[in-house]
Amino acid sequence: KQRYQRRVRGSKVVIAYEPVWAIGTGKVATPEQAQEVHAKIRNWLSENVSSDVAGSVRIIYGGSVNAGNCGDLSLQRDIDGFLVGGASLKLDFIQIINCQQ
């Protein structure tokens, strides 16, 4: 635990999670599935680094996020944002940008 604490400043770290089965498929995890994995990542950080780092690291979701699913995903406690791929090339990308407001 100490070896990580000296090196990690949570506010400078972003972790992106995308399910392997979602890569390039257009499939998206349910909000509950994504939240479960994000919570496990945050819990691991808390146990292995520190609770301060776990609370300040941004954990973002990247599995086929689009204007139709970003709202439900953004309501999940441990999803801090999105890693957007192809949807960033579409006009409704602005809805993804604004979905947390």
pLDDT in tens, 72-93: 999 999 999 999 988 889 998 9
> Tokens 């604490």 — which residue?
5
Query: Pick from 22, 40, 34: which is nearest to 70 by CA?
Result: 34
Q: Spell out where the chain has E strands.
A: 14-17, 58-61, 81-82
pTM above threshold 0.75: yes
* pLDDT given at position 9: 60
What is the C-alpha separation between 3 and 33, in angstroms, rounded? 31
What is the C-alpha separation between 37 and 47, in angstroms, rounded? 15
